[in-house]
Amino acid sequence: MSALFIAGTGTGIGKTFIAAALARALRAAGRGVRVAKPVLSGFDESDWRASDSARLLDAVGIVP
């Protein structure tokens, strides 16, 4: 098992974008991928499908 932790200096700088891209690429290469979003800020319940968590779940093939 390997692990990768993506961190950044602030919000809106591309952490989720990079994590989702890596997850998609690894899945395309036949690797098993799991994702976690330990901290979430600015969550809007009325538009949860546009959240970072939903983007990550989509990247690993899980429909929220």
Widest CA span in the chain: 36
Per annotation, catalytic residue among 24, 37, 57, 60: 37
Residue 58 class from Cβ within 10 Å (0-12 exposed, 13-18 middle, 19+ buried)?
middle
DSSP state of 1: -
Per the annotation, the verdict on 15 as an active-site residue is no
Catalytic positions = 37
